[in-house]
Homo-oligomer: A and B are copies of this chain.
């Protein structure tokens, strides 16, 4: 496998590449907090053999938020995908405004979590320290997933399996290194089942009254799981490039999902080889079928396949593509119809 990007520098993004809007951002409030979490009593070894045994918090979910001075719509919760964190929605790899700030500037309070088990949410480290101490077998450790650039270029549909950019692709390919840096180890396989993020999202929405849950990739179906827990707290769902959509929904599931307007957004190059055991065309088809099932049950579900709207060249990371504001505007237009 040959990569064209090996000569690029990893020395650090020039801060001069950060673009600043000419209009100030006026916030009513901003900050962060945690949702969920349980107490776990751990041994001296499980805590890394530094301080005394005792109680720590695990499975909590970090949330960063910004509320505009003038609110024009419901809060939007933006949930990132596999091996990533809430950084997905912040400044783009090439220094442009991300969707977090863009939606705030359009009047929406925005809440950006790190999934439980990643980033500032942390993860339960006990089993790793137990393995170090010989208290558990190393082959029982959950995997820590990372995508190599060789995986993410084709799988995120930024380029080909040969590492070349897609002709007319909208992802800022020269800033690929900055996307690489956004990745952290993903210990999802070490989480309790069901994933505590589902309930944390439901609780967050309920605390805020009602929210619009926007997911991406791995988190595609998380809004559905949150809606099953607290149906009245989810005003709408937006799946951005979901990894898959559930099909063959049961009547009790459809009775929840048909009451929640849903938008599904896909970019370009769906049939391109991904280099990993995943097909975006299959994902797209499962989501097309999802919209049909929900609509047959009387619900409102829309597929926004961008090439059908004449918008070509978008990658899987379309919130970071060069036309990210154009896509955000289409989503906001849909939100205004619900």
Please report A residues at the B interface, Cβ cutoff 8 Å: 1, 3, 6, 10-16, 18, 20-21, 24-39, 42, 47-57, 60, 62, 64, 67, 69, 85-87, 90-91, 95, 97-98, 101, 114, 119-123, 125, 128-129, 131-134, 138-139, 141, 143-152, 155, 177-178, 180-186, 200, 203-204, 207-208, 275-276
Contact = CB atoms under 8 A, between A and B. Distances in A.
Contacts of A1: 52, 54
A36 B11 contact: yes
A329 to B, nearest CB: 20
A192 to B, nearest CB: 14
Nearest to A5: B55
Contacts of A178: 33-34
A101 to B, nearest CB: 7
A106 B143 CA distance: 45
A203 to B, nearest CB: 6
B42 A150 contact: no
Stoichiometry, as copies per complex, reads: 2
A125 B148 contact: no
21 contacts: A10-B39, A13-B35, A15-B208, A16-B207, A25-B30, A42-B146, A47-B148, A48-B143, A48-B185, A51-B151, A56-B146, A56-B180, A57-B181, A57-B183, A62-B87, A85-B120, A119-B119, A121-B184, A128-B128, A132-B139, A132-B141
Contact of A27 (B24, B49, B186): B24
B149 A55 contact: yes
